[in-house]
Amino acid sequence: MHLQLSVDRAANGDIFQLHKWLASDPRIAGRASLSIPQADPASGAMGPLEVIDVVLGRSIDLCALIVACAAWREAKRNSATVTIERQGIRAEVTDAEPRSIEQITETIGSDCLPYEDMPDN
C-alpha cells in the first residue's frame, strides 16, 4: 500500500521531524518504507516536496501509522494536521481516538483491526 503524508503547516522542518518520529516508532520501523522524495531539477521544481512517501506491507500497519502520526502531533503539542493520501483519497489525522482511526482507515479504503485489537496496544 503506497501512501503520502503531508503536514498542513510544513514549517520549521515539520515534515523531517515527522519522518524521524515515524522511523523511530517500533510499530512503524521495519514494517514501512519511509522516504522524502527529492524534486527533479530537470522538471523545473524548486527543491524537495513536503511529503513523506510511505509503503506499507500490511493493512494493519495503516492503523499503527495513524496512531504514530497522532502521537507526534500530541508530543509536539502541535495543532498542525497530518494528511494521509492514497490514490487521490485524503484523510486528516487530528487525534488518536479509536473512532477517528476507524474513520480514517475506512476513508483510505483499507481493512484494519480496531485500535483496541492491535498488537502491543
Of 26-35, 44-53, 59-68, minimum mean pLDDT range: 44-53
pLDDT at 20: 93
HEC assignment per residue over 60-101? HHHHHHHHHHHHHHHHHCCCCCEEEEECCEEEEECCCCHHHH
In the chain, the percentage of residues whose pLDDT exceeds 90 is 32
Give residue 52's identity as a one-letter amino acid code: I
110: closest CA among 64, 53, 59? Answer: 59
pLDDT tens by residue, 21-46: 999 999 898 888 999 887 555 555 54
Q: What is the pTM of this model?
A: 0.77
| Structural domain spans, the chain | 2-39+47-116
Burial (CB < 10 A; 0-12, 13-18, 19+), residue 15, is: buried
